[in-house]
Amino acid sequence: MEDKPIDEILDRLERRSIERASPGSALGRKPSWNATPFTALIATVLSQRNRDESTYRASERLFAAYDTPAKLMSAPEEKVDELIRSVNFHRGKTKAIREIARIVHEEMGDEVPSEIEQLMTLPMVGRKTANCVLAYAFRVDAICVDVHVHRISNRVGLVRSAAPEGTEEQLKMIVPRKRWRSVNELMVRFGQEVCTPVNPKHDICPIREFCDLYNGSMKD
Ligand code: SF4
């Protein structure tokens, strides 16, 4: 695998993001609710296997009523389910987020942990969710590898990995640490608008000269 000019690639994605004045986030836009580590954690769980727009709407409704661990753990299950009905797997997520709220309130002193191992002890919090919370809520150096980061990194040839965990490890070896947090933010919006899962728009892509898929040296 040839070395890629990672800083140049991230610079170009950054310029595109600034020009469009619509930087991405774990939810594709800035939250309208009180942004805390707790709301970031819950919103990231809601975003799993779900579209950004419906995640955003569900988060907005949920946090208008219950935006702290104490409030959410005491909220009636049917009410929470109703508020987040727009997301996929809402029943399972209702149970998980109420239990997360209980654990954070009763066992963690209302503080969402800022270490990956502790975060991953919570229901429905895997490596991707934990890294997103670290990067977005705690501003810790972490690379949140969601479906967009995984797909784009492999297409361009920054990594060769079948699983997001491998993508995270390989990206950490080539991306300067000070840029780790920005990787997800830059690639999410780029993956929604340009390097889409189906029919990526190579013709308007600012990094195509570096891309293995575009150059024909890898297959999707
Ligand atoms: S050239 Fe195409 S496949 Fe490669 S990063 Fe750009 S949009 Fe994605």
- 97-112 burial, b at 16+ Cβ within 10 Å, e below that, comes to bbebbbebbeeeeeeb
Cβ-defined contacts of 185-188 (< 8 Å, 24+): 185/17, 185/23, 185/24, 185/25, 186/10, 186/13, 186/14, 186/17, 186/24, 187/13, 187/24, 187/148, 187/149, 187/152, 187/153, 188/24, 188/25, 188/26, 188/28, 188/146, 188/148, 188/149
Determine if ligand 1 sits within 6 Å of the CB of residue 200: yes
- How far does CA 192 lie from the centroid of its chain? 13
Determine if ligand 1 sits within 6 Å of the CB of residue 157: no
Pocket test for ligand 1, best of 208, 210, 215, 217 (most atoms within 8 A of CB): 208
Query: Which residue positions in the chain have pLDDT lower than 50?
Result: 22-24
Q: What is the rounded distance in angstroms from the CA atom of residue 143 to the CA atom of residue 64?
A: 29
- Domain residues of the chain, as ranges? 6-25+144-215, 37-137
Q: What is the rounded distance in angstroms from the CA atom of residue 219 to the CA atom of residue 79?
A: 46
The CATH T-level fold of domain 6-25+144-215 is Endonuclease Iii, domain 2 (1.10.1670)
Q: Tell me, yes or no, if the two domains 6-25+144-215 and 37-137 fold the same way.
A: no
pLDDT score of 2: 75
What is the per-residue pLDDT across 132-180, written as a single tens digit (0 to 9) for each? Answer: 999 999 999 999 999 999 999 999 999 999 999 999 999 999 999 999 9
pLDDT score of 51: 83
pLDDT score of 52: 81
C-beta separation of 25 from 136 below 8 A: yes
Closest CA to ligand 1's atom 2: 202
Q: Which CATH class is domain 37-137?
A: mainly alpha
Determine if ligand 1 sits within 6 Å of the CB of residue 144: no
